Amino acid sequence: MTQQLLLGQTVQFTHDPFFGNPEDAAQINTRGGVLIEDGRIVAVGNGDDLRRTHPQARVTDHRDGLITAGFVDAHMHYPQTAMIASWGKRLIDWLNTYTFPEEMRFADRAYADDIAGRTLDLALAHGTTTQASFCTIHPTSVDAFFEAATARGMAVVGGKTCMDRNAPDGLRDTAQTAYDDSKALLEKWHGRGRITYAITPRFSPTSAPDQLAALGALWTEHPDALMQTHLSEQLDEIAWVRDLFPDARDYLDTYETFGLLGDRGLYGHAIHLEPRELDRLAEVGAAVVHCPTSNTFIGSGLFDLPGIKARGIRTGLATDTGGGSSFSMLRTMAAAYEIAQLRGTALHPAQLMWLATEGSAQALLMGGEIGSLNIGAAADIAVLDLASTPAISQRSARADTVWEALFPTIMMGDDRAIKAVYVAGVAV
């Protein structure tokens, strides 16, 4: 197959920039190149050298564009795309007022197809090449998401959202149907092409103990699947969980008791954690996912990113659409920076970029496959224009380093900053 060579500025990571000097973890080549063959990265280095050693490669010169791994959104809800930026509710009211009525529409397969395609196209327009999404209780909503991703060649994670209580008629299943539907979808889709299935209880308040136990049993039967849910997003939610599970030691225990805690578990938000919860997440090697625009938009709290990272807990970054208020991982990085500032830490641009790419990929246990420019990885790539608007351009023009030039795009960029996107080497 014909090789293609992308030229521009390249950024790739050798290790986690949260440990040691962040800039030491990154390799930046201002005259770099990425060589692609059969949808995978086969070489990264000096662009002129790669051009000379691979004269037959088809060349695309992005000039000053910054070539990075495509962004990885580790927690979102594609069924909430159409209702993003809905006004002013706390989590539980917000679910009842906006989310549940919208999710009921996904019984209509045509509507699910429309929103799935819309969501993935918006993601690509913002440089996001992988999403981990909750679907709805309707199995066809999962089919719609996975089929739309397959048509676009994207690596995605998803699963049927299971709820058997504290939800309206039309959005509740049972312990048995949650198990049966999830098992059928998992066996149909998991590992098919670039699809990863995640067993998906929405959160403990909407799953009675029997349903949590059934899904825990399914995970035991299929330990190579992921499991995604929510954890300790808001204080009133935690109080609700305490009322519903009076014998539980804490919120995490409502999952652990039923076999829903493990190294392939993804726990969204995780803001208000008890010491035991932190200990157990670290001990089992689970991942948490930081959703900063959602946490500020719904008023949930300030995620302790430095503290979580110091515990060695795998951490991803996510838009949490539509509780999150933006489809952009650039805006999500900016919100993560702002929240960290409120907690007394100034995150380096290298740390933010790593979270949005390789950090999220590692949270999904897909490191090496997505989220990096390393040799052998899928050629899921975004190219950033570091002068996409007049405001950004005039600031980046004063920069002395690539990091200083990149930071204004992180803080002020949007889809206009996405110069090009490649999925498995194909320009989209």
Looking at residue 188, which CATH number applies to its domain?
Answer: 3.20.20.140
Q: Which domain holds residue 381?
A: 4-70+371-427
- Determine the Cα angle at 282 with ends 190 and 375, to 5°: 55
Residue entry with tokens 């900016």: 334
Cα 202 to Cα 161, 167, 300, distances in angstroms: 6, 11, 17
Last residue of a domain, one of 265, 297, 327: 327
428 residues of the chain, pLDDT tens digit each:
689 999 999 999 999 999 999 999 999 999 999 999 999 999 999 999 999 999 999 999 999 999 999 999 999 999 999 999 888 777 788 888 889 999 999 999 999 999 999 999 999 999 999 999 999 999 999 999 999 999 999 999 999 999 999 999 999 999 999 999 999 999 999 999 999 999 999 999 999 999 999 999 999 999 999 999 999 999 999 999 999 999 999 999 999 999 999 999 999 999 999 999 999 999 999 999 999 999 999 999 999 999 999 999 999 999 999 999 999 999 999 999 999 999 999 999 999 999 999 999 999 999 999 999 999 999 999 999 999 999 999 999 999 999 999 999 999 999 999 999 999 999 99
Judge if 273 and 319 occupy the same domain.
Answer: yes
Judge if 116 and 238 occupy the same domain.
Answer: yes
CB 408 within 8 A of CB 321: no
Judge if 397 and 266 occupy the same domain.
Answer: no
Looking at residue 47, which CATH number applies to its domain?
Answer: 2.30.40.10
Is position 341 within any domain? no
Q: pTM of this prediction?
A: 0.97
Is position 314 within any domain? yes
Is position 343 within any domain? no
- CA-to-CA distance for 335 and 294, rounded, in angstroms? 9
Judge if 65 and 75 occupy the same domain.
Answer: no
- CA-to-CA distance for 45 and 28, rounded, in angstroms? 10
Helices and strands counted in the chain (H then E): 17, 16
Complete DSSP assignment for 11-26: EEESS-TTSS-GGGGE
Q: For residue 256, give the amino acid letter.
A: E
Judge if 220 and 146 occupy the same domain.
Answer: yes
Judge if 234 and 383 occupy the same domain.
Answer: no
Tokens of 213: 């136990």
